[in-house]
Amino acid sequence: MSLVSARVHARNTWYLQTNAVIAAWLAVLGVVVLAHQGIRVANWLMVHLLLLGAVSTAIIIWSQHFADTLVRRPALDGRRSLIVRLVGHTLGAILVMIGMILNLFVVVLVGGVLVGAVAVLHAVLLGGELRRAKPTRFGSLVRYYVVAAVSLFGGVGLGIWMANPGTGGDLHARLYVAHIALNVLGWVGLTAVGTLLLLWPTVLRTRLGDGTDAAARTALPLLTAGVTVVAGASLAGVPLGVGAGSVLYLLGLVPVTREAVRQARHAPPTTFAGWSLAASMAWLAFSVAALGVVVATAATPADAVARLGWLVIPLLAGFSAQLLLGALSYLVPMVSGGGPQAGRAAALELNRAPLFRLLVTNGGIVLYLLPVPSLVKVVLSLLVFGVLLSFLVLLVRAVAAGGRIRSRAGSAPVAGLTAVPAGAVGPRRTRSGMAAAAVGALVLAVTAGIALDPVTAGVGTASLTTQGANASIASGEVTEATVTMLDMRFSPSILTVPSGNRLELTVTNGDTAVHDLTLANGLTSGRVAPEETVIVDAGIMAAGSEGWCSIAGHRQMGMVLQIVVTGSAATDAAADHAGSGATDSEASAADDLGAQSPPSPGFVARDAALLPASAETHHDYTFRVGDTEIEVAPAVTQTLWPFNGTAPGPTLRGKVGDTFTITLVNEASIGHSLDFHAGALAPDGPMRTIDPGETLEYSFTATRSGVWLYHCSTMPMSLHIANGMFGAVVIDPAGLDPVDREYLLVQSEFYLGPQGGVAGSDKIAAAAPDLVVFNGYANQYQDQPLRAKVGERIRFWVIDAGPNLASSFHIVGGQFDTVYVEGEYLLRDGGSTGTGGSQTLALAPAQGGFVELSFSEAGTYPFVTHAMTDAERGAAGQIMVVP
């Protein structure tokens, strides 16, 4: 092998090895996507595996490559400095991710500092390379890379700030938008624009035009100003400034886009690389515009963050992923070595099914952004991700194909390679077949998502034709009406239809929650997502009827639609009959309550012991919500919506100053939310309702002590709380006296629906519970008493979850010498006299506190709520005191 050949081989091997790091990041991303349900901060991790991992690694490698090419001289220390940057960035990124997963801010800080240091080094080395070089036509493009690296440094700093447990509320939301601006629009966006000015015509195999120089000079100041204004305005809390910065950024894209379109007219893209790069820049422009509009029109920073959730897919899959895969599809064959045949073989592998991959990816993203059911979005996202990840398989095949050619160096050309240019996409028939296959895959994905949740999609529900209507009375006329679902109401709430007319309803959900329309005859429209409109054919109207929203509790909140038919003798009777159905008309599980019935075999009472607060200052929890059938009294079950399968949900405990992060995963059949009374923050974002299949992260800092309620705040809130969606947060007051034992009792009410059903809404509205219980089960501590010893000091924490009734906690035979209610001692160690005492701990719904006492004699001490009817309904237990 000659010296020149050896150098070329070494260069090609170098590029394959460094790009293997990119492939490794993508492979890890694939694993996390498949296993994300069991990973903490999974959504954050998937975003950063792509952007901080794969995309950033590619930028470091290829921006150095293009800088060397543009200025026609290598960087100082050549590959050695690049190795240092790659190792430093990779190690830093891994530390950041480990720190986030394990909730160790120190590790995040170290990793972030390392990534930031690499960004600074990258900017300094590229800037120095540009200064030392002789002027070249496109040497100024290196400035894009320098500014991009500076943006990364700023974005990493904001990311560290965001990860600090003490950062929350509006500040966190403002940092979030600025973080996006610097890292995505700056680091990735500026690098993309600067590279594509040169790479785009190369991919198209066309000449650079005279306008490229002018476009490059014009775009950089506008793009840089756009990034700076968006980030600065977000940090300053000026939403209109974010909109203005987005406009500046879009203006910077105009000359670049104009030049790219001119070049594409002369040589249209025909490969996956060209199409993917074009699509990525279209998604970048769309995302920038959407970012500006959403933030500028948001009521608060938290509201902006909540509304930006949908933009993740366009920015990641639409822009970043397609940019990365499109660029690598062209660059890898270029540097794989082995001569033209090897490069062509690699290019053919990476260009397999280009139109299919392009249409599925971009069509899938478009469909995902439409108001389709959540399970359709899940299936579409898996399809798009699978197509994008197929690049790894094609990359392995491309490297192998090039290797086979290199191993045959000197032999006859391999059949078929020389006859097919690298840019070919096949005959028209092949292109039509790929397009048809792509459409078929998308249709199949949507169909599969609908099949998994047909009710939400409104499929499988019958037409709303009034059963029993006499077709002979048909008038041939159609009455059209528009009904809007908003603020838990149908508007208008009364419709008048002439007898014999066909009623056609245009139903629009203008609310933030999912609703439906169900008629008294049992026929339903299916669930209607927010902002969705459906056309409902209610059939020929012969008699009056009633409609309502059948989602739990919505009817009781006023979602009732009255249909009045005029000119029909049966109108009144039919209307009366339709309106007579009660939502609690089914047999109630209360019929199976037995005052002395023992619990089911194997029943174990909930452990009421309260563990001490840990030394940690940051606490992470994942709350999963599902529809779970749970026994709430002997032989009585209800389908509750509990947090992590228990009602009450998990108990949180900490100290003033501690931070809590709760990830809510909605695996239930309807929307749910969270409200932590222990945190003080704007409810717009963290307390919003999320649909089935979605997740939400709720962070707060405990600034005040006490025992605090948390619950689902989705309307009707009374139903969600009554159906088991509540729990307690204990924040220790300073100077809390030591005790021998601590117990936590959460009082709540059950309004029983049918066996295995959900709570009865009418009973809740009447505040007429069937059971009042401690810790989720009637009389559970009668058969399995709490334990204590004579002389031990015992602290009982009590909170009233409601949703309706007050509590008056009392221990028969005991006297409290310490009473703490709602953050303040009413009595401490006997009070000022030393002999003061208390007989009850009185709490309204959502209030909490604790009492302390000691038992001087062994025996069995009943405890109750001293609202005696409620005690008889199940809010009673016993304490077994032994010598």
Residue range 635-681, pLDDT digits in tens: 888 999 999 989 999 999 999 999 999 999 988 888 899 999 999 88
Please report, rounded to a whole number, the percentage of residues in the chain having pLDDT higher than 90: 49
> CB within 8 A of 664, min separation 6: which ones?
623, 625, 672, 673, 674, 690, 695, 696, 697, 698
CATH at 281: 1.20.210.10
What is the number of alpha carbons within 13 Å of residue 566 lying toward its C-beta? 6
Residues 161 and 291 in one domain: yes
C-alpha of 223 from chain center: 30
pLDDT at 464: 39
Burial zone of 724 (CB within 10 Å; 0-12 exposed, 13-18 middle, 19+ buried): buried
Q: Give the pLDDT of residue 865.
A: 95
> For the whole prediction, is pTM greater than 0.75?
no
Q: Evaluate whether residue 413 is within a structural domain.
A: no
Q: What is the pLDDT of residues 559-575, one digit of tens each?
A: 888 887 877 544 443 33
At a CB cut-off of 8 Å and minimum separation 6, what does 863 contact? Answer: 745, 781, 796, 809, 810, 811, 812, 876, 877, 878, 879
pLDDT of residue 573: 39
Distance CA 330, CA 278 (A): 13
Check residues 418 and 98 and name the one with the higher pLDDT: 98
In a domain, 91, yes or no: yes
Flag whether pLDDT at 118 surpasses 60: yes
- Give the domain-ending residue among 420, 453, 486: 453
- Report the pLDDT value the prediction gives residue 12, as an integer from 0 to 100: 61
Same domain? 638 vs 566: no
pLDDT confidence band for 587 (50 / 70 / 90):
low
Shared-domain flag, residues 554 and 653 = no
Same domain, yes or no, for 497 and 446?
A: no
pLDDT tier, 7 (very low <50, low <70, confident <90, very high otherwise): low
Binding-site sequence positions: 672, 677, 711-712, 720, 725, 866
pLDDT digits (tens, 9 = 90+) for 473-509: 567 788 888 888 887 788 887 788 888 788 888 888 8
Same domain, 540 and 687: no
Task: Say how many C-beta atoms besides its own lie within 10 A of residue 428's C-beta.
Answer: 8
pLDDT band at 732, cuts 50/70/90?
very high
- Residue 61 is predicted with a pLDDT of 93
DSSP-derived pairing of the beta strands 518-519 and 807-811: unpaired
pLDDT reading at 623 higher than 60: yes
Give me the mean pLDDT over the 314-319 stretch. 94
Could you give the C-alpha distances from 559 to 598, 692, 739, in angstroms and in order?
40, 21, 51
Query: How confident is the model over 842-860, as a mean pLDDT?
Result: 94
Flag whether pLDDT at 68 surpasses 60. Answer: yes
> In this model, does residue 375 exceed pLDDT 80?
no
- Residue 521 banded pLDDT, cuts 50, 70, 90: low
At residue 581, φ and ψ (nearest 5 deg) are -70, 130
Check residue 472 and give its pLDDT. Answer: 47
Domain annotation covers residue 247:
yes
Q: Is residue 62 part of a domain?
A: yes
Better-predicted residue by pLDDT, 823 or 550:
823
Among 335, 368, 392, the domain boundary falls at 335
Quick: pLDDT tens for 76-90: 666 788 999 999 999
The domain in which residue 683 lies consists of: 618-882
Q: Is residue 402 scored above 90 in pLDDT?
A: no
Let me know whether 483 and 437 are in one domain.
Answer: no
- What mean pLDDT is reported for the chain? 85
Cα(743)–Cα(473) distance, rounded to whole angstroms? 69
Question: Two tokens at 332?
Answer: 């890898």
Q: Is the pLDDT confidence value at 820 over 80?
A: yes
For residue 296, give the amino acid letter.
A
Pair 173, 217 in one domain: yes
Q: What is the pLDDT of residue 584?
A: 47
146-172: per-residue pLDDT in tens? 999 999 999 999 999 988 877 766 788
- pLDDT single digits (tens) 761-770: 888 888 999 9
The predicted-structure confidence for 694-703, as pLDDT tens digits, reads as follows 889 899 999 9
Q: Single out the residue in 552, 578, 604 at which a domain terminates.
A: 578
Strands in 499-558 per DSSP E: 502-509, 518-519, 533-540, 545-548
Mean pLDDT of 239-257: 96
Number of domains the chain is built from: 4
What is the model's pLDDT at position 484?
87
pLDDT of residue 540: 78
Q: Is residue 583 part of a domain?
A: no
Under DSSP, is residue 141 helix (H, G, I), strand (E, B) or coil?
helix
Distance between CA 333 and CA 347 in Å, rounded?
Answer: 5
pLDDT, tens only, 800-818: 998 999 999 999 999 999 9
The answer to the question of residue 351 being in a domain is no
φ/ψ (deg, to 5) at 768: -120, 80
Q: Do residues 475 and 384 share a domain?
A: no
588 pLDDT tier (thresholds 50, 70, 90): low
* Region at 644 (left for phi over 0; alpha for psi -120 to 50; beta for the rest): left
pLDDT(456) > 60: no
Q: Identify the bridge partners of residue 772 per DSSP, sorted by sequence position.
A: 749
> What distances in angstroms separate CA 608 from CA 93, 388, 861, one per listed residue?
43, 50, 16
For residues 667 and 694, give the distance between their C-alpha atoms in angstroms, rounded to a whole number.
8
Known binding-site positions for Cu cation: 672, 677, 711-712, 720, 725, 866
344: pLDDT confidence band, cut at 50, 70 and 90?
confident
Q: What is the pLDDT of residue 178?
A: 96
pLDDT given for residue 39 in this prediction: 72
- 14 against 17, higher pLDDT: 17
pLDDT > 70: what percent of the chain? Answer: 87
- Cα 157 from chain centroid (whole Å): 24
Give, in order, the Cα–Cα distances in Å from 457 to each of 452, 512, 526, 527.
10, 17, 6, 6
Domain shared by 167 and 221, yes or no: yes
What pLDDT shows up at residue 580? 32
- pLDDT, mean of residues 199-207: 90
Rg, Å, the chain Cα set:
33
Residues 679/637, Cβ–Cβ less than 8 Å: no
867 and 765, same structural domain?
A: yes
> Which residues, other chains included, contact 411 with Cβ-Cβ below 8 Å and sequence gap of 6+?
none
More confident residue, 583 or 149: 149
Q: Who has greater pLDDT, 460 or 96?
A: 96
Q: 670, 551 in Cβ contact below 8 A?
A: yes
Dmax over CA atoms of the chain, in Å, equals: 106
Q: How confident is the model at residue 338 (pLDDT cuts 50, 70, 90)?
A: low
Q: What is the pLDDT of residue 72?
A: 73
In a domain, 458, yes or no: no
Are 373 and 330 part of one and the same domain? no
Question: Is the residue at 546 inside a domain?
Answer: yes
Per-residue pLDDT at 417 exceeds 70: no
Under 8 Å between Cβ of 666 and 672: yes
Q: What is the rounded distance in angstroms from the CA atom of residue 174 to the CA atom of residue 172?
A: 6
Pair (117, 167) in one structural domain: yes
The answer on pLDDT for 378 being more than 90 is no
Name the token pair of 708.
């605090």
State how far the alpha carbon of 597 is from the alpha carbons of 133, 592, 600, 636, 771, in Å. 90, 10, 9, 10, 14
Q: How sure is the predictor about 327, in pLDDT bands with cuts at 50, 70 and 90?
A: very high
Span 63-68, average pLDDT: 89
Q: What is the pLDDT of residue 502?
A: 82
The CATH number of the domain holding residue 674 is: 2.60.40.420
Buried b (16+ CB within 10 A) or exposed e, 317-337: bbbbbbbbbbbbbbbbbebbb
Picking from 273-277, 469-473, 583-587, which range would have the lowest pLDDT averaged per residue?
Answer: 469-473
The pLDDT score that the predictor gives to residue 173 is 84
pLDDT band at 795 (very low <50, low <70, confident <90, very high): very high
Are 643 and 789 spatial neighbours (Cβ–Cβ below 8 Å)? no
